[in-house]
Chains A and B, each alone.
Chain A
Amino acid sequence: MNREIFLATIEQRLRSPVRLALAGAFVLFAAMPYVLTILFKTAGAGVAPAGHGGLLGLVFAAGVLGQEFSSGAPQITFTRPLPRWAWVLSRGAAVAALAAVCSLLPFGAALLAGNAPGEVAIAALDQVLAAIGTSAVLVGLSSLVPGLTDLAVVAGANIALQILGVVAQFVQKEETRKAAEWLKDHLAPWFSPTLEFTALYHGAGFSPHAVLVYASTTLFWFVVACAMVNRKELSYATD
């Protein structure tokens, strides 16, 4: 990890008006039920289901490596005494941290709205893990494709998984339905790794398998990114 790269990446992300606008919109949308509860002094309906952690991961991590390579900036950075893996991990950690911190913001409003701290903390943990997991996916994909193509790949994969879900629901043939379900269940964690602690909190039981899948998927994408960047040749202008 390199502190300078970590801080510079956070600064870079926060200087992007598009990313800031999108992040603000997602945070505001997630905080809206609590804000309305506070404003109109109505009785709280508990912690609302949220999905903003993953979206914030997409917003801050999209193009985290690919855009850099497309811009050519690493040409100078890589002449500095900095291992490439440290560059990858520092950039990845920066976007994951940014997404995680932003995903916590709506839960401040949830607490102010009078929700039980334990329930809020568990819901917040869910979103933080989703933010980190999605950031890891983007870091990995971003090392494989240029610019913001990683975002398109994630979007495409999620659309394909939704289609698989629909197929699994409506198809008549049992084998096809099972195959679609199997594919969806096994592919989804690769593109949207998350842990449902809320379900655990409500007594659904602890699943070591789910923890293992989340941890290994997140680690996998970081390893992919380090390996790809380490062997990457930097393109040059023609002379």
Chain B
Amino acid sequence: MTATGAGIVVRNLVKSYGGGKRALDDVSLDIAPGEAVGIIGPNGAGKTTFFGCLLGHLRPQSGVITIGGRSPDTLLTKSEVGFLPERLLFDRWMTGGRFLAHHHALAGLPAERRRADVSESFAKVGLEPAAASKSLKAYSRGMLQRIGLAQALLAKPRWLFLDEPASGVDPAGVLLFRRLLAEARAGGTTIVLNSHQLEQVERICDRVAFLREGRVQSIEVLHAGAEARRHLRVRFAAASAYAPAGAEAPVLDRLAGVAASAGAELIHPLNPAREAVFAVADDAGSTRLLAALLTAGAPVVEARSEEGRLERLFLEAPPSGGMPS
């Protein structure tokens, strides 16, 4: 994807720590305005260092970073940035409400809106109003993550940098986070997401940059539309007239035949959980396959699309050398 000057542009970024070993080695990446890009890679790949450079917290030895055409260090850029760090190292002496009010003031937002904005932020991230008067020391990991996201979204940032945003959050929180990020994107926010939770990355991001040993090894387009070939995992009832126990071979032949008639392919036969995996051309192919299976009387209990491309990226990548990050 081609980025314009108004996006995030990274060119030939090099960052070394003591000892001369490069944590980032000639990294280049363009992120278009409004895009969501995931940064993934094994431990020590340089992801957090990359974030540090993007936020102006670390100074690269060489290379150029511009955010909206400006340096990350400028106050104008900072006024448009939201950041949720991986380690929630907040001012723990503050209460939750004081913490958000503090960042509201630092962000330069109008004082007359402070109380209302803080209350709204608490509700938005699913924190009880009582949490506002509770010390951050007493917050659980999940609560800290929620208030961290609230402060990141407080100033309605144009550029949102999230480092493991859903770490320690319960499933309901994960869904809420996903919805909030979708809302932010709908409002034009560009998201850069660093996460080991590959499913989250796949669900949120348009593209993903795979970092390994300080280099961008590959850039994958995740949401290429409904045309992408995908895998469909289908679970069948334990035993039925269609698939009686102990009669695996004829059933497999039948499933393969039905799949072929629907333009799909059986690629993994039934496992002990009575699941089979089919390759389908696209979303319409999934619908055709399921219709064909049901028409043929197959006792389909569950069907789900297997994303899994990022997992495969990880599995295909050789082990990391473990650089400082």
| Beta-carbon contacts under 8 Å, A1-44 to B | 2-5, 8, 12, 15
- Flag whether B87 is at the interface (Cβ < 8 A): yes
Q: Tell me if B78 and A81 are in contact (CB < 8 A).
A: yes
- For B82, the chain A residues whose CB sits under 8 A away are 79
Q: Tell me if A76 and B151 are in contact (CB < 8 A).
A: yes
The verdict on A237 contacting B57 (CB below 8 Å), with A4-B102, A79-B78 known, is no
- For B106, the chain A residues whose CB sits under 8 A away are 2, 4-5, 77, 80-82
Q: Tell me if A80 and B103 are in contact (CB < 8 A).
A: yes
A4 to B106, alpha carbons, bound, how many Å? 7
Q: What does the 1/0 interface line of A59-79 toward B look like (CB < 8 Å)?
A: 000000000000111011111
- Flag whether A170 is at the interface (Cβ < 8 A): no
- For A159, the chain B residues whose CB sits under 8 A away are none
- For A79, the chain B residues whose CB sits under 8 A away are 55, 78, 81-83, 161
Q: Tell me if A234 and B78 are in contact (CB < 8 A).
A: no
Q: Tell me if A81 and B48 are in contact (CB < 8 A).
A: no
Name the residue on A nearest B161 (C-beta). A79
Q: Tell me if A81 and B58 are in contact (CB < 8 A).
A: no
A98 to B102, alpha carbons, bound, how many Å? 20
The verdict on A234 contacting B58 (CB below 8 Å), with A12-B91, A81-B76, A81-B78 known, is yes
- For B51, the chain A residues whose CB sits under 8 A away are 236
Q: Which of A3, A4, A73 contacts B90 (CB 8 A)?
A: A73
Q: Which of B46, B86, B91, B324 contacts A73 (CB 8 A)?
A: B91
Q: How far is the CB of A161 from chain B (nearest CB, A)?
A: 34
Q: Which of B83, B93, B105 contacts A12 (CB 8 A)?
A: B93
Name the residue on A nearest B17 (C-beta). A233
| Beta-carbon contacts under 8 Å, A67-123 to B | 71-73, 75-83
- For B161, the chain A residues whose CB sits under 8 A away are 79
- Flag whether B285 is at the interface (Cβ < 8 A): no
- Flag whether A238 is at the interface (Cβ < 8 A): yes
Q: How far is the CB of A83 from chain B (nearest CB, A)?
A: 7
- For A15, the chain B residues whose CB sits under 8 A away are 93
- Flag whether A174 is at the interface (Cβ < 8 A): no
11 contacts between A and B (CB under 8 A): A8-B91, A72-B89, A76-B103, A79-B78, A79-B81, A81-B75, A82-B106, A236-B49, A238-B43, A239-B46, A239-B48
When A and B form their complex, which 3 residue pairs have the shortest distance between CB atoms, in order from nearest? Answer: A72-B89, A239-B48, A4-B105
Interface residues of B (CB under 8 A from A): 43-49, 51-52, 55-59, 75-76, 78-79, 81-83, 85-87, 89-94, 102-103, 105-108, 151, 161, 194, 324-325
